[in-house]
């Protein structure tokens, strides 16, 4: 169910109305029922998968919590339970990821036995939100094993955490202790609901006015029809990172805003990533709920296990971590290259951190220049890697990169395209609003007369209606 569809709007309105009409002690049940209804509408088979995974993790969590010894003990009898639970969930996710990656091959070859052919042709791939709720379950089991939190005893609360429908399509990946502490007495104040609706409106603006208008131009460089030009390839190189940022942050805005309508505060996913002065800074600001999850449950354990190897262990841990980020999004060669590139970038950044700090300390003029050279250089590294995110194959990515080496005389004429102008103006407006928010320029707006605030809301709606272009679904729905 697309977040921008009329069906989702009606579904959300009914769910919110039922939530607020219901007595507070039953609201967690309403959230669970709404989430499972969301899955049932999207795909009947999805409910079986998420319900089975939830019951499995709930039972394993109870088994882990019976043992009083700390999770750090090497002889902890809870260790086999934790290893079994995590391994089962990883295999569950990997099975659907592999089947999904092989589906194009299945389409051109006979599948036997018949039950496997029926399963593949039924198109349950990938089940709705499987990556996100599997990661939630894994982190829950590991945290219970590490004694960071007790096992949840209320199955309804736990199931609502796993299946919460505003988060399920593209996160953010909220930790169990954060969500469960809020759902025990969920309540949405008028101010929270207002903030939620405002956040959802911003998401619609970023998606329809910025991301989709940019997508029309970027598609020319990756089209399978007419041959792409040098100008379209160069435009796509610079504009796709902006499109992906606008598209994914818009999806997060709608998810976070919808959660506020139910009184649930969600973690943020972005913190001005293109302002980062280094590639490590970029990943601390981009898709933060995923990167912090992988840092806590993949990178740090790997780093501790390989600390005897020094810098080689650090490089290995970083490359494995980033390779997993790439393959988690899509089990393909293009995303593997994307992950490996960022693993190399981060390794180079980490190994040169001390020499760079020493150099800038003794060369103040270069330190000042780095404040604007750093973000520019980082953006180009990110844009280079994102060619492999947008391309459907390695040959297509290489073709785009080969074409951008030449800047033709008519390059600037390509910027005269109407959709490009709309999108870039919208992006500039969005960045101005974000900058003003960081400087607290908009604080007086909260105390402004009601007609002033509504005039602003209507102005944004008018921009969406006038310049919006719903060219495609959210990019992250493909992952």
Phi then psi dihedrals of residue 22, to 5 deg? -70, 145
User: What distance separates the 2 farthest-apart alpha carbons in the chain?
Assistant: 71
Count of all residues that appear for the chain in the document: 479
Buried b (16+ CB within 10 A) or exposed e, 413-440: ebeebebbebbbebbeebeeeeeeeeee
Name the token pair of 302: 């790997």
Strand ranges (DSSP E) for 187-319? none
Give the integer Cα–Cα distance in Å for 273 and 52: 37
Helix 212-221 crosses helix 230-260 at what angle (to 10 degrees)? 150
Cα separation values, 10 from 3, 31, 175, 202, 339, Å: 11, 16, 28, 19, 39
* Cβ pair 297, 139 in contact under 8 A: yes
Choose the catalytic residue: 287, 329, 342, 469. 329
* Cβ pair 296, 175 in contact under 8 A: no
CA 81 to chain centre: 29
Peptide bond preceding 113: is omega within 30 degrees of 0, i.e. cis?
A: yes
* Cβ pair 375, 277 in contact under 8 A: yes
Tokens 């009914």 found at? 14
Is residue 20 annotated as part of the catalytic site, yes or no? no
Active-site amino acid positions? 329
């Amino acid at each position: 169910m697309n977040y921008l569809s009329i069906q989702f709007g009606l579904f959300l309105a009914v769910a919110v109305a039922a939530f607020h009409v219901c007595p507070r002690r039953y609201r967690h049940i309403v959230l669970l029922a709404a989430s499972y209804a969301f899955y049932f509408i999207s795909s009947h088979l999805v409910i079986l998968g998420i319900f089975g995974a939830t019951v499995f993790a709930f039972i394993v969590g109870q088994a882990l919590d019976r043992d009083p010894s700390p999770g750090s003990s090497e002889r902890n009898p809870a260790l086999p339970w934790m290893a079994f639970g995590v391994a089962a969930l990883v295999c569950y996710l990997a099975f659907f990821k592999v089947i999904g990656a092989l589906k194009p091959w299945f389409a051109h070859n006979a599948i036997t036995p018949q039950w496997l052919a029926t399963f593949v042709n039924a198109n349950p791939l990938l089940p709705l939100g499987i990556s996100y709720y599997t990661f939630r379950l894994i982190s829950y089991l590991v945290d219970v094993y590490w004694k960071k939190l007790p096992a949840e005893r209320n199955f309804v609360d736990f199931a609502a955490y796993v299946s919460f429908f505003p988060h399920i399509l593209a996160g953010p990946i909220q930790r169990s202790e954060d969500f469960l502490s809020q759902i025990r007495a969920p309540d949405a104040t008028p101010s929270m609901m207002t903030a939620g609706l405002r956040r959802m409106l911003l998401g619609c603006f970023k998606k329809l006015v910025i991301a989709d208008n940019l997508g029309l131009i970027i598609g020319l460089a990756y089209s399978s029809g007419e041959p792409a030009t040098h100008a379209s390839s160069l435009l796509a190189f610079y504009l796709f990172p902006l499109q992906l940022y606008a598209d994914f942050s818009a999806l997060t805005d709608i998810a976070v805003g919808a959660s506020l309508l139910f009184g649930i505060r969600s973690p943020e996913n972005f913190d001005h990533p293109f302002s980062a002065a280094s590639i490590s800074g970029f990943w601390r600001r981009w898709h933060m709920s995923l990167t912090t999850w992988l840092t806590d449950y993949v990178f740090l354990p790997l780093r501790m296990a390989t600390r005897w190897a020094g810098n080689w262990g650090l490089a290995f841990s970083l490359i494995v971590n980033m390779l997993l980020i790439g393959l988690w999004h899509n089990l393909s060669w293009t995303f593997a290259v994307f992950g490996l590139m960022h693993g190399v970038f981060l390794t180079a950044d980490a190994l040169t951190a001390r020499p760079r700090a020493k150099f800038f300390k003794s060369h103040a003029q270069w330190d000042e220049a780095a404040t604007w050279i750093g973000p520019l250089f980082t953006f180009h590294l990110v844009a280079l890697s994102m060619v492999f995110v947008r391309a459907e194959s390695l040959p297509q990515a290489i073709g785009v990169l080969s074409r951008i080496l030449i800047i033709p005389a008519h390059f600037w004429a390509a910027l005269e395209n109407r959709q490009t102008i709309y999108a870039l103006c919208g992006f500039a407006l969005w960045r101005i609003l974000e900058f003003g928010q960081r400087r607290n320029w908009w604080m007086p707006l909260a105390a402004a007369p009601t007609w002033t605030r509504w005039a602003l809301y209507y102005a944004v709606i008018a921009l969406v209606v006038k310049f919006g272009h719903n060219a495609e679904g959210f990019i992250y729905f493909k992952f």
